[in-house]
Amino acid sequence: MNLEFFDEGPALVIEGETRHLVVADLHFGIEADLAAHGMHFRSRSAARLKRLMAVIEAAQPDALILLGDIKHSIPSLTRQEYYEMPGILADIRKRIPILVFPGNHDIGLECFLSDGELQPKEGAVIDGVAYQHGHMIPDKSLAGKLIVIGHHHPLLLLKDEVGCALRAPAYLRASVDAEALGMNEPAEGDTATRVLFVPAFNEIAGYDILQIVNKPFAPLSKYIDKEGAEIILADGTLIGPLSAIESDAPD
């Protein structure tokens, strides 16, 4: 299994027998939600889709795996999503096959998907790698695999005495206590369950990695091995262990 990072996304290619481009948390339609809270922005959906298509062109994958929260509104579709989503998905599938692991924001999205695109919300294994949005307890069949998830929008924040010195989307990679999740490890081989948190593709979505770890809000983040966790920037640069930034965090 080979990993290739595209910081123009952020996006990730995972290549085994098949080359999959992995993208998390597009949140198309987020502008309508912001407007409901008094923050008015012109829709960025066209620019976001253009950026996604550019990453697809650069990566040349065989298929696109979308790790959920393709749309934003909960619990239903907004007018913006209703009019934008069919065209967005049609443009993508003209270029590449789509596999969608639905997220907690994707209520109603299934009506825009074609046969075979919607995957189980509990996750599934594709070409030896497990995928899920990240808001649910994974299916037991994902034990002993690398589970690639979205939902958490990891963002690396490095601060100094005068404020924030670095703010960048980042991946968080760690082992998982599968037994605590009710997922028994396979008996043979070196098969520790691991998780890779993928940063949000949406340009305004981000959540401090330290908050994800110290105040977990989903099953997989709750049961990671903090001691062995490591951080990777969107371009593939290994920052190092989580403990390095924890020791630098201000009191």
What CATH number did the domain enclosing 176 receive? Answer: 3.60.21
Percent of the chain with pLDDT over 90: 73
pLDDT, one tens digit per residue, over 75-101 is 778 888 888 999 999 999 999 999 999
**149 closest CA partner among 78, 232, 65, 88:** 65
Q: What is the mean pLDDT of residues 118-140?
A: 96
Q: Which residues contact 134 (CB under 8 A, 6 or more apart)?
A: 67, 68, 103, 149, 150, 151, 152, 197, 218, 220, 221
How far does Cα 91 stand from its chain's mean position?
A: 21
**46 closest CA partner among 36, 31, 33:** 31
What is the residue-averaged pLDDT of the chain?
90
Give the dihedral of Cα atoms 208, 213, 215, 218; nearest 10 deg.
100
- Place 70 in a pLDDT band, splitting at 50, 70 and 90: very high
The residue segments making up the domain with residue 95 are: 2-248
Asked if the peptide bond before residue 250 counts as cis, ω within 30 degrees of 0, the response is no
Query: Which pair of structure tokens corresponds to residue 99?
Result: 């596999």
pLDDT of residue 158: 82
Count the domains in the chain: 1
- Has residue 250 got a pLDDT over 90? no
Give the dihedral of Cα atoms 155, 161, 165, 167; nearest 10 deg.
20
pLDDT, one tens digit per residue, over 20-37 is 999 999 999 877 766 566
- Place 159 in a pLDDT band, splitting at 50, 70 and 90: confident
The CA distance from 172 to 230, in Å, is 6
pLDDT, one tens digit per residue, over 188-221 is 555 789 999 999 999 988 999 999 999 999 999 9
